[in-house]
Amino acid sequence: MATYLQQILSGLAPLINSTVAEVTNTTSALPQATISPLSIPNDLSSLISLLFSFSALRDWLKLIVLGGFFETCRRVIFAQYAKFVDAFYMKATFEEDDPSYEWMMVWLSRQPSWAKARDIQVSTNTYGANSNTVMLEGEEDSSEYKTSRKLAYLPSVSMTYSLWYKRRYMTITRTLQDTTGSYYATKHNVLQISLLTRSHSLLIGLLQEARSDFMAAQEHKICVWVSDVNNGWKHVGCRAKRSMNSIILESGVKDLLLEDARDFLGSKDWYAERGIPFRRGYLLYGVPGSGKTSLIHSIAGELGLDIYIISLSRVGLDDSSLDALINELPERCVALMEDIDAAFTRTLNRDDDDASDSESSASSGANKTPKTGSPPPPPGSRVSLSGLLNALDGIGAQEGRILFATTNKHTSLDPALCRPGRMDLHIEFRLSSKYQAREMFKRFYIPSSQCSEADDDDEAADSGYGSAALSEATDSTPPSPADSKSSESPVSESSSAPPAFFGSRHVGRAPKLSKGRVDELATLFSDIIPDQQFSMAALQGYLMMHKTRPFAAVAGAQDWVEKELKDRSRREKQKREKEEKEKEKKAKEKKEAREKDEVKDTPKAQHNPSESDKAIQVTQMQVSS
């Protein structure tokens, strides 16, 4: 290194000496002149020639040029090779929030090579009945693990798996990617498949096969979707379809809704020819527990449609996000808005809003000041009535969907929300009738197909189910404490009696009854139940306490009815007393507020006397003088 420095300094010495001499001569001859820039290229060229005179520098330059050339060739070759390989591969990407991701996971779970992967992720999450994981061998049939959570295989993240599909090589990779355009830092799964083929037909066949397997796995189930924080739809699971026979309503209600929805789904061309938006809305209103949600579940199963739950009270939901959610709905689905009247902090009626605003401002005013230091209220839904109306039938509203909305207070809804085009069909659900009570009893105690009238009588005699009065009827199973009157009486602390409980133990077996005997018991049961007094949910809850004891259900129906009516009257009385106390409290607060206002105005009146008071004071002064 020292030798190279000496050579450089010895080579630069003549150049420096000549340059200094030229500058000195020029300066002495022409003191006012400046150095000409034409001498710079000569110096640079001599400097460059000097640099190239070193052999080490020439070697480094050769290495740089050759290295850059070979690196460029390598990149070009690998790029061409990648294009050549891609020309023989078909690639498909599936994201977690898309239904096709579920198709492929269900299809992969049935591949033998997938279960024999060397690098796996073990999880107890089986994704419901139709799992998209590969179960461990012997887990499903082993009775040892029936009471514990099962283990399942999952593909590891950022790992590539290889398998064969119809004699074609295929690779599968699952990765985690950040969700873009979201305030929340979330990740979602992405599945990428590469198939060694140049034909789209093989990839299309794979997708069709995966979809067929998924539909076969979900044949007796419906998928439920909910909205997530990113204003997208997330699959939360599948639920078993509910038979229409399990829904007990007044005659003709089920058929009306089912046939109307089925006719709508098949009338797309009819709507298009007449320029009518292809949308249908149903408003189910009535008392709680009358079967509104159950009927929607059953209709979705009969039509083979998925249910998309739209929660208007979701935190952070506003008009724009609601509009985006409804626009993302598929063409054939059931959109469900439950308890639409209770989804807002204020009623869905513009007239009531104005009245409530004026009343609240007049009554509260400055009396309801927020406490200092108290935390702010949690952010709730910011959906307005106009935003909801535009989302339902605006220009960008999705077509082909069926909307179901439920409410317990039909009068609290704005007429603009209930008009045709948004809610086309309104159906009222009332309390149970005697017909519904009779049909529910038959639904609970299904007659045996192999039991005749003679067998029915014999079994009744053997097991204690005779044709005597119902008050003397007994079951083969011991009655629960809920059936005895002792359970209803208060038990003192010093008593040694066991604590009372309600319900029935699931022991014994249900008696085999013929159709005639079941009809007879159902008629007796419906005669005891008063008309339009109890909801279907209340009747179902009572029969659940006697699910294997039909005679006890009939025998205890009268006591249950009396007890429920007494409890209802007691609750109504407490409610009235509470409302009266609240009214008295509000009246007292208003009176105190008026008195405070009068006290505030009194000093002002004394400080500023009127002209008549001044005249009286002057007269009194004159008289006294």
Tell me the pLDDT tens digit for each residue of 97-120. 788 888 888 788 777 776 677 777
Residues 6 or more apart whose Cβ sits within 8 Å of residue 625 = none
Query: Which amino acid does the sequence have at 187?
Result: K
Same domain for 337 and 243, yes or no, is yes
- Give the pLDDT confidence of 166-208 residue by residue, as tens digits: 888 888 888 887 766 555 567 778 888 888 888 888 888 888 9
For the chain, give percent helix, strand, coil, nearest 5.
50, 15, 35
Same domain for 275 and 401, yes or no, is yes
First to last CA, the chain: 127
Same domain for 411 and 524, yes or no, is no
Give the span between the Cα atoms of 126 and 135, in whole angstroms: 8
In a domain, 29, yes or no: no
In a domain, 541, yes or no: yes
Same domain for 214 and 102, yes or no, is yes
Give the span between the Cα atoms of 172 and 107, in whole angstroms: 12
Same domain for 512 and 418, yes or no, is no
Which of 116-130, 242-256, 360-374 bottoms out in mean pLDDT, i.e. has the lowest?
360-374
In a domain, 364, yes or no: no
Same domain for 95 and 132, yes or no, is yes
Largest CA distance in the chain: 147
Same domain for 93 and 210, yes or no, is yes
Give the span between the Cα atoms of 561 and 341, in whole angstroms: 31
In a domain, 156, yes or no: yes
User: What strand order describes the sheet that includes 134-135?
Assistant: 120-123, 152-155, 134-135
Reduced to 3 states (helix: H, G, I; strand: E, B; else coil), residue 94 is strand
The length of the chain is 625
pLDDT confidence band for 300 (50 / 70 / 90) = very high
Domain CATH code at residue 296: 3.40.50.300
In a domain, 397, yes or no: yes
Stronger pLDDT, 50 or 444, i.e. the higher one: 444
Q: How many domains does the chain have?
A: 5
DSSP string, 534-550: S-HHHHHHHHHTTTT-H
pLDDT confidence band for 219 (50 / 70 / 90) = confident
CB atoms within 10 A of CB 250: 13
pLDDT confidence band for 283 (50 / 70 / 90) = very high
Same domain for 531 and 597, yes or no, is no
Task: Give yes or no for residue 474 having a pLDDT over 70.
Answer: no
Beta bridge mates, 194: 91, 171
Say what the pTM is: 0.68
Left (φ > 0), alpha (ψ -120 to 50) or beta: where does 304 sit? left
Nearest to 105 by CA among 240, 230, 235, 241: 235
Give the span between the Cα atoms of 225 and 234, in whole angstroms: 5
Range of the domain at 211: 88-138+146-219
Same domain for 80 and 133, yes or no, is no
Same domain for 424 and 516, yes or no, is no
Give the span between the Cα atoms of 291 and 199, in whole angstroms: 52
Same domain for 292 and 424, yes or no, is yes
Of 149-153, 175-179, 295-299, which has the strongest mean pLDDT? 295-299
Same domain for 546 and 591, yes or no, is no
What's the sign of the alpha-carbon dihedral 206, 210, 211, 216?
A: positive
